[in-house]
Amino acid sequence: MYMYMCTIDLFVCINISIISIIVICFVILKLIMLIVRIVIISGTELSGLQWHEALNQVEKSNGIVLDCRNIYETDVGIFDHAKPLNTTFFRESWAALEENLKNVDKHTPILTYCTGGIRCVKINAFLEQKMGFQNTFRLKGGVIAYHRELKRVQAELKRHPSHSDETQQHRPEDAEDRAFIRLRPRCKSR
């Protein structure tokens, strides 16, 4: 009798463990699907050099550059032609986006940037999934990564002014754009 009871208890414990494992796997799978959906449908990610090229193209194509940072961050400086959302808290971004972009064509190029890159992922996902925009781009790693890349490329240009492969492929032909290749900060104080 005791052996029979132990077998039943063991069987119940194993079943509960299997059910728990299945539930945990299901929750993990749902989280992975959500993360993949957000990352895939959150605009094209641009490096600092690609960002410079995109800024030049946006100026020519009547695109929009959105500063997705809060007011106190925007007060430090913004990229040329950028429109700040003028929010105090991130949760205010959704209403600000809807207000600022209500009459904008859904095919208009929209570039977004923030401090560390996380807010832009969320904002671009909102722009694409909720508002129907189809041409969104975001600065990889935000202003912090941009600044790091700026310093790295400037140091590379000082060491090897004409031998850097990465900067060579982005080197414009006319003299006016040489400042672009030197990666001077495109920020302006407000």
Which residues are identified as catalytic? 114
CB 142 within 8 A of CB 114: yes
Residues contacting 174, CB < 8 A, separation 6+: none
CB-neighbour burial class of residue 161 (10 A; exposed 0-12, middle 13-18, buried 19+): exposed
DSSP 8-state code for residue 87: B
Consecutive H or E run containing 65 = strand 64-67
CA angle 56, 59, 62 (to 5 degrees): 140
Q: How many residues does the chain have?
A: 190
Distance (Å) of CA 154 to CA 68, 122, 139, 180:
26, 31, 19, 11
Consecutive H or E run containing 31 = helix 2-40
